[in-house]
Amino acid sequence: MFTGIIKHIGEVRAIEAEGSNIHYTIATELSSDLNIDQSVAHDGVCLTVVALNEGSYVVTAIEETLQKTNLKDWTIGRKVNLELALQLGTRLDGHFVQGHVDTTGVCVGKEESGGSHLFTFEFPAAFAPLMIEKGSICINGVSLTSFQVTELTFQVAIIPYTYEHTGFHDIAVGDRVNLEFDILGKYFLRKAQLDAANVSHQ
């Protein structure tokens, strides 16, 4: 479990395919604090540490993860938002994030607005019921608030600190991003679907 508050950035140093899996070597000062089998969110994708090196570590993405995220777009040198798993007893500054990416979106707009940066993202219509005005959305691991929500798009405003201290400054129009929708919305939607199904069967 994560909160979507990014405090560390890593860099992809190596990419190695093995069957349908891909191993990524991530360079970061965090490596000295990690353990094998530990969970770390990478641009919002929860991956398990499988090897440790001096100044870096290795994680493996399986085919399911590669199909639902933008990991296949990663190249050597890419900067990645990193977040360690939530510790019980600490303050929650974002929202509950599982690190289970639902789908990818595409940046269709980026502009400066009053010192901040306004991004517009397009997402698959199938996920429209999970997008609400002033709701929580996790983009590449960053907890944000959505607004100007339409059936296919939404906007987020990125303050200067977040813009400089996450990978948002590298996002350009046309780039794919990882999206994780609010887990509470998923449960409410599932309950509504089951209730509707039960009514139709009566």
pLDDT at position 201 over 70: no
Location of structure tokens 């590449």? 140
Place of tokens 């991003």: 177
The candidate with the shortest Cα–Cα distance to 145, out of 154, 8, 61, 106, is 154
In whole angstroms, what is the distance from residue 115 CA to residue 11 CA? 27
Domains delineated in the chain = 8-84 (2.40.30.20), 103-190 (2.40.30.20)
Residue 15 CA to residue 54 CA, distance in Å, equals 17
The CA distance from 180 to 195, in Å, is: 24
pLDDT at 202 over 70: no
91-134 residue pLDDT tens: 767 788 999 999 999 999 999 988 899 999 999 999 999 999 99
Burial class of 19 by CB neighbour count within 10 A (0 to 12, 13 to 18, 19+)? exposed
For residue range 164-191, what is the model confidence (pLDDT) as tens digits?
Answer: 999 999 999 999 999 999 998 898 888 8
In angstroms, how far is the first alpha carbon of the chain from the final one? 38
User: pTM here?
Assistant: 0.90
Q: Which amino acid is at 29?
A: E
